[in-house]
Structure 1
Amino acid sequence: MGTTVAANLVGTLREHGVRRVFGVPSESFTTFMDAMLDDPGLEFVAARHEGGAAFMAEAHAVAGGGVGVVMGGRAVGAANLSIGVHTARENSTPLLVLVGQMNSAHRGREGFQETDLADFLAPLAKHAVEESDPRRVPAAVGRALTIARSGRPGPVVVSLPEDVFAAEVDAPPCRPAPIPRPAPAPGEAQAFHEAFAAAQRPLIIAGAGVQRSGAEAALLAFAERWNVPVMAAWRRHDAFPNEHPLYVGHLQMGTHPELVDTVRQADMIVALGARLNEITTQGYTAISPSQRIVQVDIEPSMIGKTHPVELAIVADVATALETFAGPEAPRAAQWARRRRAVYERVTSVEVDLHEDRVDNRQIIRVLQENLRDDAVLTNDAGNFAGWMHTFFRFRRPHTYVGAASGAMGYALPAAIGAALARPDQVVVSLSGDGGFMMTVQELETAVRLGVPIISLVFNNNMYGSIRMHQERQYPAREIGSALGNPDLVALAKSFGAFGVRVTADAEFAPALQAALAEYRPAVIEIRTDPEQISVWQTITQLREGR
């Protein structure tokens, strides 16, 4: 006897280890949501906006190591969650995106919210398909989950008309297929060793490929064996322990010039699962044509996409590092020690608490001192994040969840998704007031679910990064970047969360300790000086061209 497509889909998700589906309820998915009620191991997490749901699902996958699942109904829901599809693509995160299509009988007749959903989301996704034949839905969903996890992971969209869910199928739920882990081709390990041995100042740039292949321990062992310094690609801080003597910095927006010099001084760059994109390479200026590049990436299209490479190896990073292990090869340690000393000098913060103002460096220092090493941090886009990127040191893998896409509004819903995946760990989100207000409604989701996330909101009443660009290009000609905000503490309390305000960095430690003790959703508003527009510059300095 057959079962419904909806029940089959529930079984397939269960077989793939999925425990939560995020989304906003839609009439397009009524039958599917009803089927979820029959499986106590599959939870539907209702968000307040599909964009927030998509961020939750993406972060849940990053923190939990599985596949995220988000659903949205028809054109409106699909449009709302598209920001999460783009983020998953930029983050190389496996994400199954289920979009509910209108009834098949109404297609092509100006049906309600009619659009071609697969074509609409395809440019953002790794793969997108619509399947209206109930008999083919099980295989389509199984293939989508395999594509999402294979190669460079990413988001896969499956559009399903609402009438297919109640149809019966004879196929069993799809079980996970083995995921290929390609190894370097014969001779490539020897070529790698020869190229590496010839370098005097080698540098590893570790990207998402290290994390998605679970290669953090292998990278640590390799770096120690060869005594080579490691930098983290854009928002991949936790790919390598930041307190290790071989860690030499994170390539972010506004990287300190002396850290960029580490890249410029290297005579060979080994890009491990790193795309060498615009931000990692500081606008494609940090790497010169004379530098030798070895690139290891599981995705062939990433090889040499931004810079010519001397040696290209298409392989899973973890498998490649095992192949490259070889004998111990000690080299002069002066290069690594020198660049580590630079990193420590420009990123260390001395204790200097203020009673009359907020210094964001002290906020990050106190945050570090009061959190366990396994605490998870999420962050939004904006200049406020520069202090975290520069001064917070991630000591363990899988403790950072950020959007390489630079999406505003990410941190709060991402913290919810991460906390659901890692319920035994403290999860802290960092936002500016602009980004926080974009998805603040998800604070209700956190309260309803009882997820004890702590949201730090750096409030300078502006879109800070936009103001910085305005002041740099058109000094003293602000337009559109100034903001007004509600009382964020009162707003947090109205949702049922804990709220407290910090107006001087000396107040932050007691506020953080109080939030940790509450063990419920908390918001700490941190009033910051609008003049301090970035880590290294003030508005006045920008206007004066300094």
Structure 2
Amino acid sequence: MKISGGKAVVDVMVKEGVKKAFCVPGESYLGVMDALYQHPEIDLISARHEGGASFMAEGYAKASGEVGVCMATRGVGATNLAIGIHTAAQDSTPMVALIGQVERPFKEKEAFQEVDLAGFFSHLCKWTVEIDRAERIPELLHRAFHIARSGRPGPVLVALPHDMLEDEAEMADYSPYRSRRPRPHMEDAERAVEEIRKAKRPVLIAGGGVIHAKAQPLLVEFVEKMNLPVVTAFRRFDAFPNKHASYAGWLGFGTPHSLLDEIRNADVVIALGTRFSQVGTQDYTLLSERTKLIHIDICPDIFGKVYAPSLAIEADAKSFLELALQAVDSQAAVERNERTAELHAEYMKFSETKADYTDEFTDMDGLMHDIVAQLPADTIITNDAGNFFSWLSRYYRFEQENTYVGPTSGAMGYGLPAAIGAKLAQPHRPVVSFSGDGGFMMTMQEIETAVRYKVPTISIVINNNKYGTIRTHQEIHFPERVIGTDLTNPDFAKMARLFGAHGEKVERNTEFVPALQRAIASGLPAVIEVTVNPEILSVSQDKGEVTEKLASLN
């Protein structure tokens, strides 16, 4: 029996277990959309911008552990989709992007909205392919899903010519397939354990590979037996429970210098499922030449890309930990002069919230104090890029796995749409996004998407009327030469209500908790706008100095 190319695409999606697909509709892949009409088991979430759709798919993939699927029309839609594809690449998130393409006879004539999609996205994706014959759809699309989720996960782009989707052909019967994750050799696990046992000042860095492998419980068991301090990689907070006695902190913007020095002075660093990002390594200055590096990763291409390992082990985090625990006998606990306990105590002191409140603005320290007290431990947090993030990263302690969905790519506009994707993946858990006014305005239109599909996320918007992160850099590198970073904003709470969402505006700390409680009780998508002092741009800034400076100007 012959079927259309569009139906063949959807048949593969069904076999691959796709439950949600995110898109902005386009005429070049109407054949796929029509076939989805026949498959109500796949929810098609139609967004207001392709960037929002791609962020939703990426956030959904992180929160569900499945492959995220997004769709867009040819050139104009595909290029809008690129920001989420880039985020998936840097965050190692499994994603399949299905893109409509110009008709095959019209290619290379600068046809309407024509872009060489496979070429354009080749350096952003694990694999790109254009399917030019309908009968090859099952073969190539199943392969796309496999590549997206195997090894180091990432995005795959599949271009689908408009006319090919309308062709009919007999389709071979393919099924989804999965390759086994690489397991280490026992002798490598034993060698790693022996090196750690002999070390005087070891540190373990836990990355996204721990999260992808769902290896947090095994990691807890391993570090307890080896008495190891654990640091989480950039924006991988939930790779290890933050209140655990072995947790020493996180890498990224605002990491305490004392913790960075501790890692630089380590004699052995165990990097478990991390690629050593520029931000996490403080511009690649984190490890010293004296440090022995034991690097465990599912992707061998990572080894030596930033730091040369003394021992490289190709394995997923769970498989390594299973063997490493076998190599550790029941008496293997190691005394390290209370170093692990001291590092954890320093982290707990550093991350203790402050009940600082003001009446003129909302004090961010006090805001985080209330947020930590109010949100349940299973809340999923998403965030945009922005200077507000320094408060979130410092004071919010992630206690459970699968509670953080954030962009290591630093993409603005991510918070709200990623929250929508995460909430659709985990509908019974609270999902709260944090954004600055700059980032929120980039994808604010997706409030309507949340309202239309009844997705009750809570968006906290920190409003200082500027691109705060860039202003900070501007004032450091080019003092008193401000340009391009001042903003004006609408009333975000009123805007939310116009969309049909719940909207609150908070101008002082005492207003926040009641506003949050009303937002939760509303059962609607909600926006809480929080006005803050525009002169305080980071958590490390001296608030007293700012107050004195403002007083001297008045």
Deviation at 1:262, TM superposition (A): 3.0
C-alpha distance in structure 1 between counterparts of 2:481 and 2:110, whole Å: 46
Aligned to 2:258: 258
Residues of 2 paired with 1:175 and 1:374: CA distance? 35
Letter in 2 for 1:207: G
1:530 match = 534
Q: Deviations over 1:446-466 (max 9, x none)?
A: 111111000000000000110
* CA pair 173-50 structure 1, distance change in 2 beyond 3 A: farther
Letter in 1 for 2:386: G
Structure 1 residue 286 and structure 2 residue 286: aligned? yes
Q: Any idea what SS the aligned residue of 2:66 has? A: coil
1:53, 1:413 within 8 Å by CA — same for their partners in 2? yes
Q: Pick from 435, 439, 462 the counterpart of residue 439 of structure 2.
A: 435
Please name the residue that 2:211 is paired with.
Answer: 211
Kept in 1: contact 2:233–2:251 (CA 8 A): yes
Greater Cα offset, 348-357 or 444-453: 348-357
The residue type paired with residue 330 of structure 1 is A
Letter in structure 2 aligned against 1:517: A
- Measure, in 1, the Cα distance between the counterparts of 2:36 and 2:351: 49
Q: Identity of paired residues, percent? A: 45
Structure 2 counterparts to residues 368-383 of structure 1, below 5 A: 368-383=372-387
SS of 2:307 mapped into structure 1 = coil
Moved over 4 A (4+): 538-541
1:424 aligned to 2:432? Answer: no
Q: Name the CA shift for 1:194/1:523 in 2 (closer, same or farther; >3 Å).
A: same
- CA drift of 1:115 comes to 1.6
Pairing 1:173-252 to 2, within 5 Å after superposition: 174-252=174-252
Matched, 1:274 2:277: no
Give the conservation status (yes or no) of the 8 Å contact 1:149–1:179: no
Letter in 1 for 2:486: A
> Are the counterparts in 2 of residues 85 and 125 from structure 1 also a CA contact under 8 Å?
yes
Match of 1:505 among 506, 509, 533: 509
Q: Secondary structure at the match of 1:490?
A: helix
Aligned partner of residue 405 in structure 2, secondary structure: strand
Distance 1:488 1:305, change over 3 A: same
In structure 2, do the counterparts of structure 1 residues 299 and 437 end up closer, same or farther at CA, with 3 Å as the change threshold? same
| Cα 1:174/1:530, change in 2 over 3 Å | farther
Structure-2 residue corresponding to 1:64 = 64
Matched position secondary structure for 2:166: coil
Structure 2 equivalent of residue 393 of structure 1:
397
Q: CA deviation at 1:470?
A: 0.5
What runs of 5+ residues in structure 1 fail to find an aligned partner?
none
Whole-angstrom CA distance in 2 between matches of 1:279 and 1:352: 29
**Residue pair 2:368, 2:391 contacting (<8 A) in 1 also:** yes
Distance 1:259 1:432 in 2: 28
Corresponding residue for 2:171? Answer: 171
Counterpart for residue 331 of structure 1? 334
Q: Deviations over 1:259-312 (max 9, x none)?
A: 323322322111001111211111222321111111001111111211121111
> Contact between 1:8 and 1:173, CA under 8 Å: does it hold in 2?
no
> Residue type of the partner of 1:483?
L
**Which residue of structure 2 lines up, in the alignment, with residue 463 of structure 1?**
467
* Structure 1 counterpart of 2:13, one-letter code: L
Q: Which amino acid aligns with 1:117?
A: L
Contact kept in structure 1, 2:58 and 2:418, CA below 8 Å: yes
Alpha-carbon RMSD: 1.5
Cα distance in 1 for residues equivalent to 2:24 and 2:265: 50
SS at match of 1:187: helix
Letter in 2 for 1:247: Y
Name the aligned partner's letter for residue 490 of structure 2: P
| Distance in 2 separating the partners of 1:169 and 1:185 | 46
Letter in 2 for 1:60: Y
Amino acid at match of 1:377: I
Is 2:232–2:240's contact at 8 Å kept on the other side of the alignment? yes
How far is the alpha carbon of 1:346 from its aligned partner?
A: 1.2
Give the SS at the match of 2:377: coil
The one-letter code sitting in structure 1 at the alignment partner of 2:434 is L
State how far apart, in whole Å, the 1-side matches of 2:17 and 2:183 are.
Answer: 26
- Displacement of 1:172 after TM fit? 4.8
SS of the aligned residue for 2:242 comes to coil
Which moved further from structure 2: 42-51 or 331-340? 331-340
Work out whether residues 11 and 173 of structure 1, in 8 Å CA contact, stay in contact via their aligned partners in 2: no
User: How big is each residue's C-alpha offset from its partner over 1:342-375, in whole Å with a ceiling of 9 and x where there is no partner?
Assistant: 1111111243443443221221221121111111
2:342 counterpart letter in structure 1? R
Give the TM-score normalised by the residue count of structure 2. 0.95
Number of aligned residues = 542
CA distance in structure 1 between the partners assigned to 2:173 and 2:113 by the alignment: 30
Question: What residue in structure 1 maps to residue 552 of structure 2?
Answer: none
What amino acid is the match of 1:332?
E
Equivalent residue in structure 2 for 1:448, among 430, 449, 452 = 452
How far apart are residue 538 of structure 1 and its match?
5.6
Q: Which residue of 2 aligns with 1:479?
A: 483
Give how far 1:110 is off.
Answer: 2.5
Matches within 5 A, 1:294-305: 294-305=294-305
Gaps spanning 5+ residues in structure 2: where? 550-554
Cα distance change, pair 350–470 in 1 and its aligned pair in 2 (3 A): closer
Q: Residue type of the partner of 2:432?
A: V
* Preserved contact between residue 531 and residue 538 of structure 1 (Cα < 8 Å): no
Q: Who is 1:145 aligned against?
A: 145
Q: Which amino acid aligns with 1:309?
A: P
- 1:362 aligns to 2:386 (yes or no): no
In structure 1, C-alpha distance between the alignment counterparts of 2:396 and 2:161, rounded to whole Å: 47
Offset of 1:196 from its aligned partner?
1.0
Displacement after TM superposition at 1:484 (Å): 0.7
